[in-house]
């Protein structure tokens, strides 16, 4: 979705990771601007790195409150630069990007069903010494009878510069209504590098030979071991609202990443 101007409404709530840098930043900002309880939040300021931003988005997704991140961690792709100056003005001028997470529904070997939401990606990874064998279906139609690989993932545009990019997947424009399906260390078909799929698609992985070649599924740090099937789709009912300084939003960052 295109970035939009966001008017500041309501009180500021400061959340911080447990690192010394983040906790110190929170203390400085609270001393300058005060702090409100989460129930009164008009905007949430998250202090940390990308991992903490994901935690914050998951923890506050039911509140429909925009989140403005400031980098007090390592990566900071989803964060703005840190400064204590003119924060209310920065928040009022910030541009809003809305993200929809992926919904993962995984069934393990015991028949238990596990569900999770992932803002970046859902990945399937081998959890034994041998490569895994996966059958891939899209919207109920088998598209690949067997993929032999170390794993595979489905990524959102926002997550396309994370694990997906490390696995040589494509960087997706943030407003693109597509998902990236990327293989990790594909052995057969050896040259297969993945696919671009409509955002509305449902992707299903069936694990072939799960006892000999066990597979783990993971979505934003939520892991399920010994899966036999994993279904992944975008979840439009859940909206994550991120705020960025003008000219430094996700769209600009995604473009910039491609020219390093």
Active-site residues, by number, are 50
146 known member of a binding site: no
Rounded to a whole number of angstroms, the distance between the first and last alpha carbons of the chain is 25
**Is 51 annotated for ligand binding?**
yes
Please give the C-alpha separations between residue 78 and each of 19, 20, 50, 96, 138, in angstroms, as whole numbers: 18, 20, 6, 12, 30
In total, the chain counts a number of residues equal to 260
**Residue 223 labelled as part of a binding site:** no
Does 82 belong to an annotated binding site?
Answer: no
36 annotated as belonging to a binding site for a ligand: no
Tokens 């990327």 sit at which residue? 182
The C-alpha angle 8, 10, 14, rounded to 5 degrees, equals: 90
Q: Residue 150 annotated as binding?
A: yes
202 is in an annotated binding site: no
166 is in an annotated binding site: yes
For residue 35, say whether it is annotated as part of any ligand binding site. Answer: no
Spell out the alpha helix ranges (H) of 60-175.
87-93, 163-166
C-alpha span between 47 and 50 (Å, rounded)? 10
The reply, when asked if residue 85 is annotated as ligand binding, is: no
Q: What is the edge-to-edge ordering of all strands in the sheet holding 227-234?
A: 113-118, 102-108, 227-234, 202-208, 132-138, 141-149
Q: Which residue has the tokens 């295109």?
A: 2
User: 68 labelled as ligand-binding?
Assistant: no
Q: What's the CA gap between 29 and 16, in Å, rounded?
A: 11
Known binding residue 164? Answer is yes
Euclidean distance between CA atoms 73 and 19, whole angstroms: 8
Nearest alpha carbon to residue 199 among 156, 136, 135, 152: 156
DSSP state of 60: T
Instruction: Tell me if 222 is assigned to a ligand binding site.
Output: yes
DSSP strands (E only) in 150-209: 151-155, 178-184, 195-198, 202-208
> Would you list which residues are annotated within the binding site?
50-51, 120-121, 150, 158, 161-166, 185, 222
> Would you list which residues are annotated within the binding site for NAD(+)?
50-51, 120-121, 150, 158, 161-166, 185, 222
């Amino acid at each position: 979705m295109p970035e939009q101007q966001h008017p500041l409404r309501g009180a500021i709530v400061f959340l911080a990771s447990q690192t010394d840098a983040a906790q110190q930043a929170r203390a400085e900002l609270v001393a300058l601007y005060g702090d409100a309880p989460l129930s009164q939040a008009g905007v949430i300021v998250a202090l940390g790195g990308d991992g903490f931003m994901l935690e914050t988005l998951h923890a506050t997704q039911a509140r429909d409150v925009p989140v403005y991140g400031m980098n007090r961690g390592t990566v900071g792709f989803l964060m703005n630069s840190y400064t204590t100056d003119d924060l209310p003005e920065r928040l009022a001028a910030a541009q809003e990007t809305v993200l929809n997470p992926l919904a993962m529904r995984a069934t393990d070997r015991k028949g238990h069903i596990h569900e999770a939401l992932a803002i970046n990606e859902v990945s399937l990874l081998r959890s034994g010494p041998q490569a895994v064998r996966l059958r891939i279906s899209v919207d109920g139609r088998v598209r690949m009878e067997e993929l032999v690989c170390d794993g595979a993932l489905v990524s959102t545009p926002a997550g396309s510069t994370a694990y997906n990019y490390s696995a040589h997947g494509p960087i997706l424009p943030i407003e693109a209504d597509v998902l990236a399906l990327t293989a990790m260390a594909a052995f057969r078909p050896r040259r297969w590098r993945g696919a671009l799929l409509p955002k509305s698609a449902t992707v299903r992985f069936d694990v072939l030979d799960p006892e000999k070649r066990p597979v783990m599924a993971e979505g934003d740090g939520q892991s399920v071991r010994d899966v036999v099937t994993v279904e992944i789709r975008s979840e439009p009912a859940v909206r994550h609202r991120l705020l960025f300084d003008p000219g430094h939003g996700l769209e600009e960052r995604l473009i910039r990443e491609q020219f390093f």
